[in-house]
Chain A
Protein backbone atom coordinates (compact mmCIF):
# COMPACT_ATOMS: atom_id res chain seq x y z
CA UNK A 1 0.00 0.00 0.00
CA UNK A 2 2.68 2.47 1.05
CA UNK A 3 4.73 1.67 -2.03
CA UNK A 4 1.89 2.21 -4.50
CA UNK A 5 0.93 5.46 -2.79
CA UNK A 6 4.53 6.60 -3.17
CA UNK A 7 4.46 5.72 -6.87
CA UNK A 8 1.15 7.52 -7.36
CA UNK A 9 2.55 10.58 -5.63
CA UNK A 10 5.67 10.54 -7.77
CA UNK A 11 3.58 10.31 -10.91
CA UNK A 12 1.33 13.17 -9.73
CA UNK A 13 4.41 15.27 -8.95
CA UNK A 14 5.75 14.85 -12.47
CA UNK A 15 2.37 15.68 -13.98
CA UNK A 16 1.92 18.79 -11.84
CA UNK A 17 5.38 20.07 -12.83
CA UNK A 18 4.84 19.44 -16.55
CA UNK A 19 2.98 22.68 -17.50
CA UNK A 20 5.62 24.78 -15.71
CA UNK A 21 8.40 22.91 -17.48
CA UNK A 22 6.77 23.38 -20.89
CA UNK A 23 6.19 27.11 -20.34
CA UNK A 24 9.67 27.82 -19.02
CA UNK A 25 11.30 25.79 -21.80
CA UNK A 26 9.23 27.54 -24.49
CA UNK A 27 9.44 31.10 -23.21
CA UNK A 28 12.85 31.15 -21.51
CA UNK A 29 14.99 28.14 -22.46
CA UNK A 30 14.21 28.02 -26.17
CA UNK A 31 14.67 31.79 -26.76
CA UNK A 32 18.01 31.78 -24.92
CA UNK A 33 19.24 28.89 -27.09
CA UNK A 34 17.76 30.52 -30.21
CA UNK A 35 19.67 33.70 -29.35
CA UNK A 36 22.89 31.65 -29.28
CA UNK A 37 22.20 30.55 -32.84
CA UNK A 38 21.14 34.03 -34.03
CA UNK A 39 24.28 35.51 -32.50
CA UNK A 40 26.46 33.57 -34.94
CA UNK A 41 24.80 35.13 -37.99
CA UNK A 42 24.68 38.57 -39.60
CA UNK A 43 21.76 40.92 -38.98
CA UNK A 44 18.69 40.48 -41.10
CA UNK A 45 14.97 40.06 -40.61
CA UNK A 46 14.35 38.86 -44.13
CA UNK A 47 16.29 35.64 -43.75
CA UNK A 48 19.29 36.42 -45.96
CA UNK A 49 21.84 35.95 -43.20
CA UNK A 50 25.51 35.04 -43.38
CA UNK A 51 27.31 32.80 -40.91
CA UNK A 52 29.80 34.94 -39.02
CA UNK A 53 31.15 32.60 -36.39
CA UNK A 54 32.09 34.59 -33.32
CA UNK A 55 32.48 37.92 -35.14
CA UNK A 56 29.48 39.47 -33.34
CA UNK A 57 31.08 38.66 -30.00
CA UNK A 58 34.55 39.93 -30.87
CA UNK A 59 32.97 43.11 -32.26
CA UNK A 60 31.51 43.84 -28.81
CA UNK A 61 34.33 42.52 -26.64
CA UNK A 62 37.40 44.00 -28.37
CA UNK A 63 36.35 45.07 -31.86
CA UNK A 64 34.69 48.17 -33.27
CA UNK A 65 32.05 48.38 -30.52
CA UNK A 66 34.24 47.51 -27.53
CA UNK A 67 34.20 51.04 -26.13
CA UNK A 68 30.40 51.22 -26.09
CA UNK A 69 29.96 47.69 -24.77
CA UNK A 70 32.42 48.09 -21.92
CA UNK A 71 31.08 51.50 -21.02
CA UNK A 72 27.60 49.95 -20.75
CA UNK A 73 29.07 47.14 -18.64
CA UNK A 74 30.84 49.69 -16.45
CA UNK A 75 27.66 51.75 -16.02
CA UNK A 76 25.74 48.62 -15.08
CA UNK A 77 28.37 47.66 -12.51
CA UNK A 78 28.39 51.20 -11.14
CA UNK A 79 24.60 51.27 -10.73
CA UNK A 80 24.59 47.80 -9.18
CA UNK A 81 27.22 48.68 -6.59
CA UNK A 82 26.03 52.17 -5.66
CA UNK A 83 22.26 51.57 -5.78
CA UNK A 84 22.61 48.11 -4.20
CA UNK A 85 24.86 49.46 -1.45
CA UNK A 86 22.57 52.39 -0.69
CA UNK A 87 19.51 50.15 -0.69
CA UNK A 88 21.23 47.85 1.78
CA UNK A 89 22.25 50.62 4.17
CA UNK A 90 19.02 52.62 3.91
CA UNK A 91 16.91 49.46 3.95
CA UNK A 92 18.53 48.23 7.17
CA UNK A 93 18.14 51.70 8.69
CA UNK A 94 14.46 51.77 7.71
CA UNK A 95 13.93 48.30 9.17
CA UNK A 96 15.51 49.35 12.48
CA UNK A 97 13.34 52.49 12.59
CA UNK A 98 10.19 50.49 11.79
CA UNK A 99 11.11 47.89 14.38
CA UNK A 100 11.16 50.51 17.14
CA UNK A 101 8.16 52.52 16.04
CA UNK A 102 5.67 51.19 18.57
CA UNK A 103 2.19 52.48 17.77
CA UNK A 104 3.39 54.00 14.47
CA UNK A 105 4.30 50.62 13.04
CA UNK A 106 0.87 49.86 11.55
CA UNK A 107 0.57 52.94 9.34
CA UNK A 108 4.23 52.69 8.35
CA UNK A 109 3.87 49.11 7.15
CA UNK A 110 1.06 50.29 4.87
CA UNK A 111 2.87 53.24 3.35
CA UNK A 112 6.20 51.44 2.98
CA UNK A 113 4.59 49.45 0.15
CA UNK A 114 3.71 52.58 -1.83
CA UNK A 115 7.02 53.02 -3.72
CA UNK A 116 7.10 49.28 -4.40
CA UNK A 117 3.58 49.30 -5.88
CA UNK A 118 4.15 52.28 -8.19
CA UNK A 119 5.12 50.92 -11.63
CA UNK A 120 8.76 51.66 -12.47
CA UNK A 121 7.65 53.41 -15.65
CA UNK A 122 5.41 55.73 -13.60
CA UNK A 123 8.14 56.27 -11.01
CA UNK A 124 10.55 57.17 -13.81
CA UNK A 125 8.27 59.81 -15.38
CA UNK A 126 7.34 61.11 -11.93
CA UNK A 127 10.99 61.64 -11.00
CA UNK A 128 11.69 63.01 -14.46
CA UNK A 129 9.11 65.68 -13.63
CA UNK A 130 10.42 66.27 -10.11
CA UNK A 131 13.99 66.54 -11.45
CA UNK A 132 13.32 69.10 -14.20
CA UNK A 133 15.60 72.17 -13.84
CA UNK A 134 12.81 74.22 -12.22
CA UNK A 135 11.27 71.18 -10.54
CA UNK A 136 10.45 70.53 -6.91
CA UNK A 137 13.73 68.75 -6.08
CA UNK A 138 15.92 71.67 -7.15
CA UNK A 139 13.46 74.00 -5.42
CA UNK A 140 13.76 72.10 -2.12
CA UNK A 141 17.54 71.87 -2.45
CA UNK A 142 17.82 75.54 -3.44
CA UNK A 143 20.08 74.49 -6.32
CA UNK A 144 19.99 74.55 -10.10
CA UNK A 145 21.15 71.04 -10.96
CA UNK A 146 20.70 69.83 -14.54
CA UNK A 147 19.78 66.36 -13.38
CA UNK A 148 19.65 64.59 -16.71
CA UNK A 149 22.03 66.87 -18.58
CA UNK A 150 25.38 65.93 -17.11
CA UNK A 151 27.09 62.59 -16.38
CA UNK A 152 27.40 62.57 -12.59
CA UNK A 153 23.96 64.10 -12.02
CA UNK A 154 22.28 61.81 -14.56
CA UNK A 155 23.83 58.74 -12.94
CA UNK A 156 22.83 60.03 -9.52
CA UNK A 157 19.26 60.49 -10.79
CA UNK A 158 19.07 56.86 -11.96
CA UNK A 159 20.43 55.63 -8.62
CA UNK A 160 18.03 57.95 -6.75
CA UNK A 161 14.94 56.58 -8.51
CA UNK A 162 15.96 52.97 -7.92
CA UNK A 163 16.91 53.53 -4.28
CA UNK A 164 13.69 55.44 -3.62
CA UNK A 165 11.61 52.63 -5.05
CA UNK A 166 13.45 49.66 -3.59
CA UNK A 167 15.05 50.60 -0.26
CA UNK A 168 11.66 50.37 1.55
CA UNK A 169 11.21 46.91 0.05
CA UNK A 170 14.62 45.81 1.33
CA UNK A 171 13.58 47.35 4.66
CA UNK A 172 10.48 45.14 4.75
CA UNK A 173 12.50 41.99 4.15
CA UNK A 174 15.02 42.93 6.84
CA UNK A 175 12.21 43.88 9.24
CA UNK A 176 10.71 40.41 8.84
CA UNK A 177 14.11 39.02 9.80
CA UNK A 178 14.33 41.35 12.81
CA UNK A 179 10.95 40.25 14.10
CA UNK A 180 12.09 36.65 14.25
CA UNK A 181 14.81 37.43 16.79
CA UNK A 182 13.68 36.37 20.28
CA UNK A 183 13.53 39.23 22.81
CA UNK A 184 15.31 37.08 25.41
CA UNK A 185 18.53 37.26 23.39
CA UNK A 186 18.65 41.03 23.86
CA UNK A 187 17.82 40.75 27.53
CA UNK A 188 20.58 38.27 28.22
CA UNK A 189 23.01 40.35 26.17
CA UNK A 190 22.00 43.34 28.27
CA UNK A 191 22.58 41.38 31.47
CA UNK A 192 26.01 40.45 30.20
CA UNK A 193 26.69 44.18 29.97
CA UNK A 194 26.50 44.63 26.19
CA UNK A 195 25.77 48.21 25.08
CA UNK A 196 23.34 49.16 22.31
CA UNK A 197 26.04 49.09 19.63
CA UNK A 198 27.41 45.77 20.83
CA UNK A 199 23.90 44.28 20.89
CA UNK A 200 23.43 45.43 17.29
CA UNK A 201 26.72 43.98 16.02
CA UNK A 202 26.68 40.78 18.10
CA UNK A 203 22.99 39.87 18.17
CA UNK A 204 21.02 41.71 15.48
CA UNK A 205 23.43 41.62 12.54
CA UNK A 206 24.40 37.93 12.65
CA UNK A 207 20.76 36.90 13.01
CA UNK A 208 19.38 39.04 10.18
CA UNK A 209 22.38 38.32 7.95
CA UNK A 210 20.61 35.50 6.06
CA UNK A 211 17.62 37.76 5.31
CA UNK A 212 19.96 40.54 4.18
CA UNK A 213 22.00 38.20 1.97
CA UNK A 214 18.93 36.89 0.16
CA UNK A 215 17.58 40.42 -0.29
CA UNK A 216 20.94 41.57 -1.65
CA UNK A 217 21.26 38.64 -4.06
CA UNK A 218 17.92 39.58 -5.58
CA UNK A 219 18.80 43.27 -5.66
CA UNK A 220 22.10 42.57 -7.44
CA UNK A 221 20.44 40.37 -10.06
CA UNK A 222 17.66 42.92 -10.53
CA UNK A 223 20.05 45.88 -10.83
CA UNK A 224 22.24 44.05 -13.34
CA UNK A 225 19.27 43.95 -15.72
CA UNK A 226 18.30 47.59 -15.11
CA UNK A 227 16.38 48.92 -18.11
CA UNK A 228 13.15 50.83 -17.32
CA UNK A 229 14.59 53.79 -15.42
CA UNK A 230 17.45 54.74 -17.77
CA UNK A 231 15.28 54.01 -20.83
CA UNK A 232 12.64 56.51 -19.68
CA UNK A 233 14.62 59.02 -17.62
CA UNK A 234 17.63 59.60 -19.88
CA UNK A 235 17.34 57.10 -22.74
CA UNK A 236 20.94 56.25 -21.99
CA UNK A 237 22.33 59.76 -22.44
CA UNK A 238 25.23 61.06 -20.32
CA UNK A 239 26.77 57.81 -19.17
CA UNK A 240 23.57 56.02 -18.17
CA UNK A 241 23.41 53.31 -20.84
CA UNK A 242 23.16 49.93 -19.14
CA UNK A 243 23.82 46.54 -20.74
CA UNK A 244 20.07 45.91 -21.12
CA UNK A 245 19.51 49.32 -22.68
CA UNK A 246 22.51 49.00 -25.02
CA UNK A 247 21.31 45.58 -26.14
CA UNK A 248 17.80 46.92 -26.66
CA UNK A 249 19.01 49.86 -28.73
CA UNK A 250 21.09 47.60 -30.97
CA UNK A 251 18.67 44.69 -31.29
CA UNK A 252 15.30 46.48 -31.41
CA UNK A 253 15.87 50.14 -32.32
CA UNK A 254 18.54 49.33 -34.92
CA UNK A 255 16.92 45.97 -35.82
CA UNK A 256 20.20 44.05 -35.53
CA UNK A 257 19.03 40.62 -34.41
CA UNK A 258 22.34 38.86 -34.91
CA UNK A 259 24.51 41.39 -33.13
CA UNK A 260 21.74 42.10 -30.60
CA UNK A 261 21.53 38.40 -29.78
CA UNK A 262 25.27 38.30 -29.18
CA UNK A 263 24.88 41.25 -26.78
CA UNK A 264 21.92 39.66 -25.01
CA UNK A 265 23.86 36.40 -24.66
CA UNK A 266 26.85 38.27 -23.22
CA UNK A 267 24.58 40.07 -20.75
CA UNK A 268 22.99 36.79 -19.77
CA UNK A 269 26.36 35.13 -19.17
CA UNK A 270 27.67 38.09 -17.15
CA UNK A 271 24.62 38.12 -14.88
CA UNK A 272 24.68 34.35 -14.52
CA UNK A 273 28.38 34.41 -13.63
CA UNK A 274 27.91 37.09 -11.01
CA UNK A 275 24.92 35.23 -9.54
CA UNK A 276 27.00 32.05 -9.19
CA UNK A 277 29.85 33.99 -7.58
CA UNK A 278 27.52 35.66 -5.08
CA UNK A 279 25.74 32.41 -4.20
CA UNK A 280 29.02 30.50 -3.81
CA UNK A 281 30.86 33.35 -2.10
CA UNK A 282 28.22 34.24 0.46
CA UNK A 283 26.75 30.80 0.88
CA UNK A 284 23.29 32.21 0.28
CA UNK A 285 20.74 29.52 1.00
CA UNK A 286 17.67 30.67 -0.83
CA UNK A 287 15.41 27.67 -0.49
CA UNK A 288 14.78 25.60 2.58
CA UNK A 289 14.73 22.16 0.98
CA UNK A 290 14.91 20.10 4.16
CA UNK A 291 12.82 17.02 3.57
CA UNK A 292 10.47 17.60 6.47
CA UNK A 293 8.79 14.37 7.43
CA UNK A 294 9.50 12.72 4.13
Chain B
Protein backbone atom coordinates (compact mmCIF):
# COMPACT_ATOMS: atom_id res chain seq x y z
CA UNK B 1 0.00 0.00 0.00
CA UNK B 2 2.71 2.47 0.99
CA UNK B 3 4.73 1.37 -2.02
CA UNK B 4 1.76 1.99 -4.31
CA UNK B 5 1.23 5.46 -2.81
CA UNK B 6 4.89 6.33 -3.25
CA UNK B 7 4.72 5.13 -6.85
CA UNK B 8 1.64 7.23 -7.48
CA UNK B 9 3.38 10.27 -6.01
CA UNK B 10 6.47 9.73 -8.17
CA UNK B 11 4.30 9.26 -11.21
CA UNK B 12 2.37 12.46 -10.44
CA UNK B 13 5.54 14.53 -10.06
CA UNK B 14 7.02 13.23 -13.32
CA UNK B 15 3.72 13.72 -15.17
CA UNK B 16 3.44 17.30 -13.92
CA UNK B 17 7.02 18.06 -14.94
CA UNK B 18 6.74 16.60 -18.42
CA UNK B 19 3.16 17.41 -19.35
CA UNK B 20 2.02 20.58 -17.57
CA UNK B 21 3.89 23.06 -19.83
CA UNK B 22 2.54 21.21 -22.88
CA UNK B 23 -0.95 21.30 -21.39
CA UNK B 24 -0.57 25.01 -20.71
CA UNK B 25 0.48 25.63 -24.32
CA UNK B 26 -2.64 23.84 -25.60
CA UNK B 27 -4.98 25.57 -23.12
CA UNK B 28 -3.51 29.01 -23.83
CA UNK B 29 -3.89 28.46 -27.56
CA UNK B 30 -7.61 27.75 -27.10
CA UNK B 31 -8.35 30.83 -25.03
CA UNK B 32 -9.61 33.92 -26.80
CA UNK B 33 -7.81 37.24 -26.82
CA UNK B 34 -9.31 38.51 -23.56
CA UNK B 35 -9.38 35.21 -21.68
CA UNK B 36 -5.70 34.40 -22.28
CA UNK B 37 -4.60 36.58 -19.36
CA UNK B 38 -6.85 34.81 -16.85
CA UNK B 39 -4.65 31.80 -15.92
CA UNK B 40 -7.80 29.67 -15.62
CA UNK B 41 -6.83 26.01 -15.90
CA UNK B 42 -9.56 25.42 -18.47
CA UNK B 43 -10.63 27.78 -21.25
CA UNK B 44 -14.04 29.21 -20.33
CA UNK B 45 -15.10 29.57 -23.95
CA UNK B 46 -12.72 27.51 -26.13
CA UNK B 47 -12.13 29.05 -29.53
CA UNK B 48 -9.97 28.29 -32.55
CA UNK B 49 -9.41 31.96 -33.37
CA UNK B 50 -5.68 31.71 -32.69
CA UNK B 51 -5.37 28.84 -35.16
CA UNK B 52 -7.23 30.86 -37.78
CA UNK B 53 -4.86 33.76 -37.17
CA UNK B 54 -1.68 31.78 -37.84
CA UNK B 55 -2.99 30.23 -41.06
CA UNK B 56 -3.90 33.46 -42.81
CA UNK B 57 -2.23 36.60 -44.07
CA UNK B 58 1.28 37.24 -45.30
CA UNK B 59 2.94 35.19 -42.56
CA UNK B 60 0.86 32.05 -42.99
CA UNK B 61 2.52 29.30 -40.97
CA UNK B 62 2.03 26.91 -43.90
CA UNK B 63 5.10 28.40 -45.63
CA UNK B 64 7.27 27.66 -42.61
CA UNK B 65 5.80 24.18 -42.27
CA UNK B 66 6.54 23.50 -45.94
CA UNK B 67 10.12 24.73 -45.48
CA UNK B 68 10.65 22.64 -42.36
CA UNK B 69 9.28 19.48 -43.99
CA UNK B 70 11.51 19.94 -47.05
CA UNK B 71 14.64 20.84 -45.08
CA UNK B 72 14.26 18.20 -42.35
CA UNK B 73 13.11 15.55 -44.86
CA UNK B 74 16.00 16.10 -47.26
CA UNK B 75 18.47 16.23 -44.38
CA UNK B 76 17.19 12.91 -43.07
CA UNK B 77 17.42 11.11 -46.41
CA UNK B 78 20.93 12.37 -47.19
CA UNK B 79 22.26 11.86 -43.64
CA UNK B 80 20.90 8.31 -43.55
CA UNK B 81 22.30 7.34 -46.96
CA UNK B 82 25.73 8.69 -46.13
CA UNK B 83 25.67 7.77 -42.43
CA UNK B 84 24.59 4.15 -42.82
CA UNK B 85 27.51 3.50 -45.15
CA UNK B 86 29.99 5.14 -42.83
CA UNK B 87 28.62 3.45 -39.72
CA UNK B 88 28.87 0.06 -41.40
CA UNK B 89 32.47 0.71 -42.38
CA UNK B 90 33.32 1.93 -38.89
CA UNK B 91 31.57 -0.94 -37.13
CA UNK B 92 32.24 -4.05 -39.19
CA UNK B 93 34.98 -3.58 -41.77
CA UNK B 94 38.70 -3.82 -41.09
CA UNK B 95 39.85 -0.26 -40.61
CA UNK B 96 43.17 1.27 -39.68
CA UNK B 97 42.95 3.74 -36.78
CA UNK B 98 39.29 2.93 -36.02
CA UNK B 99 39.52 4.82 -32.73
CA UNK B 100 40.74 7.96 -34.49
CA UNK B 101 37.96 7.80 -37.11
CA UNK B 102 35.33 7.42 -34.40
CA UNK B 103 36.93 10.18 -32.33
CA UNK B 104 36.87 12.64 -35.24
CA UNK B 105 33.23 11.77 -35.98
CA UNK B 106 32.34 12.27 -32.33
CA UNK B 107 34.23 15.58 -32.18
CA UNK B 108 32.28 16.71 -35.25
CA UNK B 109 29.02 16.18 -33.37
CA UNK B 110 29.94 18.19 -30.31
CA UNK B 111 31.76 21.26 -31.61
CA UNK B 112 29.90 24.55 -30.96
CA UNK B 113 27.85 25.29 -34.05
CA UNK B 114 28.51 29.00 -33.68
CA UNK B 115 32.10 28.23 -34.78
CA UNK B 116 30.98 27.77 -38.39
CA UNK B 117 28.32 30.50 -38.47
CA UNK B 118 30.48 33.56 -39.32
CA UNK B 119 32.58 31.79 -41.99
CA UNK B 120 29.56 30.05 -43.54
CA UNK B 121 27.66 33.34 -43.61
CA UNK B 122 30.46 34.88 -45.60
CA UNK B 123 30.84 31.86 -47.90
CA UNK B 124 27.08 31.50 -48.47
CA UNK B 125 26.85 35.22 -49.25
CA UNK B 126 29.56 34.79 -51.89
CA UNK B 127 27.81 31.75 -53.35
CA UNK B 128 24.35 33.35 -53.33
CA UNK B 129 23.10 30.67 -50.94
CA UNK B 130 21.53 32.95 -48.31
CA UNK B 131 17.83 32.15 -47.91
CA UNK B 132 18.02 28.86 -49.82
CA UNK B 133 17.27 25.31 -48.67
CA UNK B 134 20.78 24.01 -49.33
CA UNK B 135 22.23 26.58 -46.91
CA UNK B 136 20.36 24.71 -44.18
CA UNK B 137 20.34 21.15 -45.51
CA UNK B 138 24.10 20.76 -46.00
CA UNK B 139 25.12 21.98 -42.52
CA UNK B 140 22.24 20.01 -40.97
CA UNK B 141 23.47 16.85 -42.67
CA UNK B 142 26.88 17.46 -41.16
CA UNK B 143 25.23 17.90 -37.72
CA UNK B 144 23.02 14.83 -38.09
CA UNK B 145 25.67 12.59 -39.63
CA UNK B 146 27.92 12.07 -36.60
CA UNK B 147 24.87 11.37 -34.48
CA UNK B 148 23.45 8.93 -37.05
CA UNK B 149 26.80 7.15 -37.36
CA UNK B 150 27.13 7.00 -33.59
CA UNK B 151 23.68 5.39 -33.12
CA UNK B 152 23.96 3.06 -36.14
CA UNK B 153 27.45 2.01 -35.04
CA UNK B 154 25.80 0.58 -31.94
CA UNK B 155 23.21 -1.31 -34.00
CA UNK B 156 25.72 -2.76 -36.46
CA UNK B 157 27.98 -4.01 -33.69
CA UNK B 158 25.13 -5.93 -32.07
CA UNK B 159 24.59 -8.11 -35.14
CA UNK B 160 26.27 -11.53 -35.12
CA UNK B 161 29.75 -11.53 -36.66
CA UNK B 162 29.04 -14.66 -38.70
CA UNK B 163 26.68 -12.79 -41.06
CA UNK B 164 29.26 -11.53 -43.52
CA UNK B 165 31.27 -14.73 -43.36
CA UNK B 166 28.21 -16.77 -44.28
CA UNK B 167 27.40 -14.34 -47.07
CA UNK B 168 30.93 -14.57 -48.40
CA UNK B 169 30.83 -18.34 -48.34
CA UNK B 170 27.73 -18.01 -50.50
CA UNK B 171 29.75 -15.94 -52.95
CA UNK B 172 28.78 -12.40 -51.97
CA UNK B 173 31.24 -9.53 -52.36
CA UNK B 174 31.66 -7.34 -49.26
CA UNK B 175 29.31 -4.73 -50.77
CA UNK B 176 26.51 -7.21 -51.54
CA UNK B 177 26.97 -8.75 -48.10
CA UNK B 178 26.36 -5.28 -46.63
CA UNK B 179 23.39 -4.47 -48.88
CA UNK B 180 21.63 -7.81 -48.98
CA UNK B 181 22.41 -9.34 -45.59
CA UNK B 182 23.37 -6.76 -42.98
CA UNK B 183 21.28 -3.78 -44.05
CA UNK B 184 17.88 -5.55 -43.93
CA UNK B 185 18.68 -6.78 -40.43
CA UNK B 186 19.65 -3.26 -39.33
CA UNK B 187 16.50 -1.71 -40.87
CA UNK B 188 14.80 -1.07 -37.51
CA UNK B 189 17.91 0.77 -36.32
CA UNK B 190 18.07 2.80 -39.53
CA UNK B 191 14.40 3.72 -39.13
CA UNK B 192 14.90 4.86 -35.52
CA UNK B 193 17.95 6.88 -36.53
CA UNK B 194 15.90 8.54 -39.27
CA UNK B 195 13.36 9.74 -36.70
CA UNK B 196 16.11 11.09 -34.45
CA UNK B 197 17.87 12.93 -37.29
CA UNK B 198 14.52 14.35 -38.44
CA UNK B 199 13.85 15.67 -34.93
CA UNK B 200 17.32 17.27 -34.78
CA UNK B 201 16.82 18.99 -38.15
CA UNK B 202 13.23 20.04 -37.35
CA UNK B 203 14.31 21.61 -34.05
CA UNK B 204 17.47 23.43 -35.20
CA UNK B 205 17.41 27.18 -34.58
CA UNK B 206 20.86 28.83 -34.72
CA UNK B 207 21.65 28.29 -38.41
CA UNK B 208 18.03 28.68 -39.44
CA UNK B 209 17.96 32.02 -37.67
CA UNK B 210 21.12 33.06 -39.53
CA UNK B 211 20.60 31.86 -43.09
CA UNK B 212 16.84 32.01 -43.67
CA UNK B 213 15.69 35.55 -44.11
CA UNK B 214 12.26 35.25 -45.72
CA UNK B 215 9.30 32.90 -46.14
CA UNK B 216 11.23 31.29 -49.01
CA UNK B 217 13.30 29.20 -46.60
CA UNK B 218 12.34 30.15 -43.03
CA UNK B 219 11.54 27.00 -40.99
CA UNK B 220 9.01 26.79 -38.17
CA UNK B 221 11.44 27.38 -35.29
CA UNK B 222 12.41 30.77 -36.69
CA UNK B 223 8.84 31.62 -37.69
CA UNK B 224 7.67 31.04 -34.12
CA UNK B 225 10.53 32.93 -32.49
CA UNK B 226 9.95 35.93 -34.78
CA UNK B 227 6.15 35.79 -34.85
CA UNK B 228 4.72 39.24 -34.28
CA UNK B 229 1.22 38.96 -35.74
CA UNK B 230 -0.53 42.27 -36.30
CA UNK B 231 0.36 44.03 -33.07
CA UNK B 232 3.78 45.58 -32.72
CA UNK B 233 3.60 46.43 -29.04
CA UNK B 234 3.12 43.10 -27.34
CA UNK B 235 3.99 39.59 -28.34
CA UNK B 236 0.72 37.90 -29.38
CA UNK B 237 1.13 34.85 -27.14
CA UNK B 238 -2.21 33.29 -28.12
CA UNK B 239 -1.29 32.74 -31.77
CA UNK B 240 2.29 31.91 -30.78
CA UNK B 241 1.04 29.11 -28.50
CA UNK B 242 -1.22 27.88 -31.33
CA UNK B 243 1.78 27.81 -33.67
CA UNK B 244 3.76 25.96 -30.99
CA UNK B 245 1.05 23.32 -30.79
CA UNK B 246 0.93 22.92 -34.57
CA UNK B 247 4.71 22.53 -34.76
CA UNK B 248 5.02 20.20 -31.79
CA UNK B 249 2.05 17.86 -32.11
CA UNK B 250 3.11 15.99 -35.29
CA UNK B 251 6.51 15.44 -33.70
CA UNK B 252 4.96 14.20 -30.45
CA UNK B 253 2.70 11.78 -32.32
CA UNK B 254 5.68 10.25 -34.14
CA UNK B 255 7.71 10.13 -30.94
CA UNK B 256 4.92 8.51 -28.92
CA UNK B 257 4.17 5.88 -31.57
CA UNK B 258 7.82 4.88 -31.80
CA UNK B 259 8.87 5.68 -28.22
CA UNK B 260 10.31 2.24 -27.49
CA UNK B 261 12.52 2.32 -30.56
CA UNK B 262 13.54 5.92 -29.93
CA UNK B 263 14.55 5.28 -26.34
CA UNK B 264 16.46 2.25 -27.56
CA UNK B 265 18.25 4.36 -30.17
CA UNK B 266 19.05 7.21 -27.78
CA UNK B 267 20.43 4.91 -25.13
CA UNK B 268 22.04 2.21 -27.30
CA UNK B 269 24.46 4.72 -28.74
CA UNK B 270 25.05 6.47 -25.46
CA UNK B 271 25.88 3.53 -23.27
CA UNK B 272 28.36 1.55 -25.27
CA UNK B 273 31.24 2.76 -23.08
Contacts and interface: CB of A to CB of B under 8 A. Distances in A.
A45 interface: yes
Contact of B117 (A13, A117, A136, A264): A264
Contacts of A225: 112-114
Contacts of A100: 7, 10
Contacts of B13: 97
B101 A38 contact: no
A287 B153 CA distance: 9
A38 B94 contact: no
Interface stretch (A57-65, A81-89, A169-177): A169-177
A16 B86 contact: yes
B78 to A, nearest CB: 8
B197 interface: no
A225 B113 CA distance: 7
Interface in A114-162: 114-115, 117-130, 132, 134-136, 139
A247 interface: yes
B99 interface: yes
Interface in B75-126: 81-83, 85-86, 88-90, 93-95, 98-99, 101-108, 110-123, 125
Contacts of B161: 292-294
Given A104-B11, A135-B39, A173-B271, A114 B18 contact: yes
A121 B7 contact: no
B141 A27 contact: yes
A272 to B, nearest CB: 7
A130 B115 contact: no
Contact of B225 (A34, A125, A248): A125
A251 B248 contact: no
B205 interface: yes
B272 A117 contact: no
B48 interface: no
Contacts of B99: 287, 289
The size class of the interface chain B forms with chain A is 35 or more
A197 interface: no
Interface stretch (A105-113, A186-194, A198-206): A105-113
A66 interface: no
A264 B88 CA distance: 33
Given A244-B114, A265-B115, A111 B18 contact: yes
Contacts, number: 315
A119 B248 contact: yes
Interface stretch (B54-62, B184-192, B260-268): B260-268
B37 interface: yes
A268 B111 contact: yes
A105 to B, nearest CB: 9
Interface residues of A, number: 108
Contact of A5 (B118, B174, B175, B221): B174
Contact of B21 (A9, A97, A126): A126
A95 B122 CA distance: 45
A293 B157 CA distance: 11
B96 to A, nearest CB: 8
A115 B20 CA distance: 10
Contacts of A248: 114, 117, 206, 210
B108 A28 contact: yes
B119 A35 contact: yes
B10 A247 contact: no
Contacts of B224: 121-122, 125
Contacts of B174: 5, 8-9, 12
Nearest to B273: A285
B45 interface: no
Interface residues of B: mostly helix, strand, loop or mixed?
helix
A285 to B, nearest CB: 4
Given A109-B263, A176-B271, A119 B202 contact: yes
Contacts of A117: 199, 248, 251-252, 255
A210 B271 CA distance: 8
A5 B178 CA distance: 14
Contacts of A285: 273
B168 interface: yes
B205 A119 contact: yes
A169 B262 CA distance: 12
Contact of B114 (A173, A247, A287, A288): A247
B69 interface: no
B241 interface: yes
Nearest to A36: B119
B219 to A, nearest CB: 9
A177 B271 contact: yes
Contacts of A107: 11
A98 B93 CA distance: 38
A126 B244 contact: yes
B30 interface: no
Nearest to B221: A121
27 contacts: A5-B174, A16-B178, A20-B86, A20-B149, A23-B82, A27-B138, A27-B141, A27-B142, A32-B116, A35-B116, A103-B7, A108-B15, A114-B252, A114-B255, A118-B251, A119-B247, A126-B24, A164-B17, A176-B263, A227-B206, A244-B112, A261-B118, A267-B115, A272-B111, A285-B273, A287-B99, A289-B102
What 4 pairs across the A-B complex have the smallest Cβ distances?
Answer: A225-B112, A176-B267, A13-B93, A27-B142
